[in-house]
């Protein structure tokens, strides 16, 4: 074959290769364009689905809101929890005998002969009176559990009382937006407050006419000493009807005694008590309605569960105690400075 023919054949082969390569490239580009198009369609479809879902969800939420009863409540629309102190429980440190015991209580050993009594033996009631500590408090310390009535004591038995050299009062903040109560001990001489425990509470029914948004009024109130302990079978009058008092007030009742500062006078007749009890349909026994706690349901009183109310009652009934009811915790007028717990530092 001549050189000219070889060159001509090579040129034809080269053009063929270039043509095939071009065809393959166009095919790839077409496929890529198709893939991108499909992807865009899927993305568009996905976006449309998301928008559709949002539209449906929004419509359903609106429908639920429109169907719900329009009630004004004390809960704020946006609850900022940054201002809230941490929830804590130091109650057991009122009754312990160890190093974790709180600084304003002390441990003593029972003896029937005491320097403040002459001529007769001392009983638990005498210790309670001398140390301004309730017999319920002493009973819990003696028994090592939440038994506030058993007061069997022998010489040498140990129990805790409030230190008579400490000027102790109690202060509680009820936050209506959180439906919780922060319970403090306040040492007036040291100017320090100790957070003892955070309790869930029940409060008054919602009310558009009340400044608080419910039947529980805002303000600071001193608790009174006309306290009551109720057991099944104890009857009294409530709203002109004779009832078992435990069905209204639970096992404990502490009234508001007087208003402090600019508190409203209509708080008279209100107080703190346990959750009401009802008769069990199966057994016929009276049992606690604990579901009332953490709700807007009372006629204005504050409600605690039975165990919480009995605990609170045993601690505060021998000391001045203030309850500060606010819409949100940052509105409370806390006394003194926060105590620095050496066990937490």
Q: Report domain extents, the chain.
A: 1-68, 105-162, 169-338
The stretch 5-24 carries a mean pLDDT of 45
Give 77's pLDDT tier (boundaries 50, 70, 90). Answer: very low
Beta strand ranges found along the chain (DSSP E) = 105-109, 158-162, 168-175, 180-187, 192-200, 203-204, 219-223, 228-229, 235-238, 241-244, 252-260, 271-274, 277-279, 286-288, 296-298, 302-304, 321-326, 337-338
Upper half-sphere CA count for residue 69 (Cβ side, 13 Å): 4
What's the 3-state SS for 213-234?
CECCCCEEEEECCCCEECCCCC
Give 220's pLDDT tier (boundaries 50, 70, 90). Answer: very high
Q: What is the pLDDT of residues 237-283, one digit of tens each?
A: 888 889 999 999 999 999 999 898 765 656 889 999 999 999 888 99
Q: What is the pLDDT of residues 27-57, one digit of tens each?
A: 444 444 444 444 444 444 434 344 443 443 4
Q: What is the pLDDT of residues 150-203, one digit of tens each?
A: 999 999 999 999 999 999 999 999 999 999 999 999 999 999 999 999 999 999
CATH of domain 169-338: 2.40.440.10
Q: pTM, whole model, 2 decimals?
A: 0.76
**How far, in Å, CA of 128 to CA of 69, rounded?**
51
Question: Among 107, 146, 303, 132, which residue's Cα sits nearest to residue 225?
Answer: 132
């Amino acid at each position: 074959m001549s050189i000219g023919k070889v060159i001509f054949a090579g040129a034809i082969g080269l053009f063929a290769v270039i043509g095939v390569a071009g065809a393959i490239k166009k095919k790839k580009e077409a496929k890529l364009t198709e893939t991108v198009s499909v992807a865009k369609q899927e993305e568009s479809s996905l976006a449309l689905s998301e928008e559709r879902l949002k539209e449906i969800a929004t419509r359903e939420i609106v429908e639920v809101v429109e169907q719900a009863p329009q009630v004004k409540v004390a809960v704020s629309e946006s609850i900022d929890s940054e201002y809230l102190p941490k929830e804590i429980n130091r109650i057991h440190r009122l009754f312990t005998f160890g190093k974790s015991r709180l600084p304003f209580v002390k441990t003593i050993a029972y003896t029937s002969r005491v320097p403040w009594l002459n001529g007769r033996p001392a009983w638990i009631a005498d210790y309670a009176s001398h140390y301004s500590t309730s017999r319920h408090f002493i009973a819990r310390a003696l028994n090592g559990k939440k038994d506030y009535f058993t007061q069997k004591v022998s010489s040498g038995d140990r129990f805790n009382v409030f230190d008579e050299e400490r000027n102790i009062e109690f202060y509680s903040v009820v936050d209506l937006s959180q439906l919780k109560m922060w319970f403090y001990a306040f040492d007036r001489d040291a100017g320090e407050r100790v957070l003892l425990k955070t309790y869930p509470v029940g409060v008054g029914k919602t009310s558009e006419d009340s400044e608080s948004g419910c039947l529980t009024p805002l303000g600071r109130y001193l608790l009174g000493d006309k306290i009551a302990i109720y057991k099944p079978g104890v009857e009294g009058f409530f709203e002109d009807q004779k009832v078992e008092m435990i069905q209204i007030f639970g096992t404990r009742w502490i009234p508001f005694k007087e208003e402090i500062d600019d508190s409203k006078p209509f708080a008279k007749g209100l107080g703190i008590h346990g959750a009401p009890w009802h008769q069990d349909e199966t057994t016929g026994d009276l049992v606690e309605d604990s579901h009332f706690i953490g709700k807007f349901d009372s006629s204005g009183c504050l409600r605690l569960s039975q165990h919480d109310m009995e605990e609170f009652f045993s601690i505060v009934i021998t000391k001045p105690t203030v309850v500060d009811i606010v819409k949100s915790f940052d509105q409370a007028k806390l006394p003194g400075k926060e105590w620095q717990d050496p066990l937490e530092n």
